[in-house]
């Protein structure tokens, strides 16, 4: 992880990979605030995740690995990418290293579990 990402992860019990322009991401933050959960925020478009960070997320991910890629995103389509080309952890990591904007959001991590909080209420899955 980058120094910024490590600091956010180490300082809080919960870490959220966040995009402020995403309503699901803002909704997950709202739920964390409502529950008075201490959390660290990583705005992954400003601080793209490293290979190590992506591998850590995947190792903890409750969702199937291919769901980490925003295949329905206009950018994905504009790049002419094949949704079936990103099924393995390595394929997903390689894509997101080059195109971090295609990472699904928000990703909420607590301990050994990570969830793509879409819908936002899925954040509860890692809080319990």
Catalytic residue among 2, 9, 12, 22: 22
Calculate the alpha carbon distances from 14 to 33, 63, 65, 95, 126 in Å. Answer: 12, 17, 20, 25, 9
Whole-angstrom Cα distance, residue 109 to residue 62? 10
Whether residue 22 lies in the annotated active site: yes
Q: With 0-12 CB in 10 A as exposed, 13-18 as middle and 19+ as buried, what is 36? A: exposed
Residues carrying an active site annotation: 22
């Amino acid at each position: 992880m980058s120094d910024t990402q490590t600091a956010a992860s180490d300082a809080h019990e919960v870490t959220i990979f966040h995009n402020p322009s995403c309503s699901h991401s803002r909704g997950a933050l709202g739920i964390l605030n409502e529950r008075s959960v201490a959390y660290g925020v990583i705005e992954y478009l400003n601080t793209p995740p490293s290979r190590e960070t992506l591998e850590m997320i995947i190792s903890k991910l409750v969702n199937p690995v291919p769901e980490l890629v925003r295949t329905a995103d206009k950018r994905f389509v504009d790049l002419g990418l094949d949704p079936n080309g990103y099924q393995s952890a390595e394929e997903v990591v390689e894509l997101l290293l080059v195109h971090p904007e295609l990472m699904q959001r928000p990703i909420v991590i607590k301990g050994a579990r990570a969830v793509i909080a879409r819908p936002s209420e899925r954040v509860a899955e890692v809080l319990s």
